[in-house]
Structure 1
């Protein structure tokens, strides 16, 4: 049985993106990259909402054709190109990126069916709108949050509008040299 895991970067005041959805607040360095690389090893299928899907679909295939792409970016681009991907959207007509499955309705049933399959975990990358919907349905099993040492004041909230309280148990935390704190929680 697979778990549904939310992986998100977050500011100290709870924002997963600036007011335009940008991630310029990230304290991204080699240490955080290593953390993300370890997480990627647990992924059976990345899960995206429509907006994050469009960002990923528009970016990673271009890296494959970029002669200046570094080894890490190229390896990740190959990984994300080949791995089965899932996008949840009620408005997308199609999802044409290689190995992508589009789920338009029956979200709770579809997620439960995916979780019953064998294999590595389903990991939501960012996608705060989708994450909130899945939180409200009680479908997220674990949270992998990187807490960045910045206060944004405004942006896209990761938890605002969540209508279901979640009691969590801390599995692991680690403070990186940059001041980023990685937090790994599971439901109680």
Structure 2
């Protein structure tokens, strides 16, 4: 049976994006990139909300990871492209090869089915999608960058209390931290 992890990068104050949707406040250092590549090697499928999908897809399939880019970026791009991707959207009509559209109304049943069919890790990304699937999330992964932005899009929308147990914590020389939690 598959396991769903919710992995997002955040500011210290818990935002995944600034008020305009930008994520450039997170400047990943090499130590973070190495850890991210290691984690992506263990991902069986990506489950993205539309906004995160749009932020990831073009850069990692077309712009980044090309010849001349740092080896660490090329590796991430290759891993990304080789991993099946599901985008949960009611507005997208077409997607590139390797991507499957799932309508938002079908999200719970689709992820329940994927957990039963896929023996591996399903990496969920996007706070609104995570909020709608919170009862199916097995682990919460948070990379926190040493910056406070004051406002923006939170890791999870307010309104749901979850009791979690920390099972892993790592600090990187760059100041970024990684925390992994499971349900208590």
Flag whether TM exceeds 0.5 (same fold): yes
1:1-188 matches, cutoff 5 A: 1-63=1-63, 66-94=66-94, 96-104=95-103, 105-125=105-125, 127-135=126-134, 138-161=135-158, 163-188=159-184
Contact 1:172/1:184 (CA < 8 Å) preserved in 2? yes
Does the aligned pair in 2 maintain the 1:50–1:87 contact within 8 Å?
yes
Q: In structure 2, what is the Cα distance between the partners aligned to 1:142 and 1:158?
A: 14
Structure 2 stretches lacking a partner, 5+ long: none
Q: 1:74: how far off? A: 2.1
> What is the number of residues matched between the two proteins?
183
Offset from partner CA, 1:125-150 (integer Å, 9 cap, x none): 3x222122222xx1111011012221
Counterparts of 1:34 and 1:170 in 2: how far apart (Å)?
22
2: CA distance, partners of 1:167 / 1:98: 38
Shift of 1:43: 0.2
Instruction: Please tell me the root mean square deviation across aligned C-alpha atoms, in Å.
Output: 1.8
Contact 1:87 1:100 (C-alpha < 8 Å) held by counterparts: yes
- Counterpart CA distance in 2 for 1:65 and 1:14 is 28
Work out whether residues 27 and 180 of structure 1, in 8 Å CA contact, stay in contact via their aligned partners in 2. no
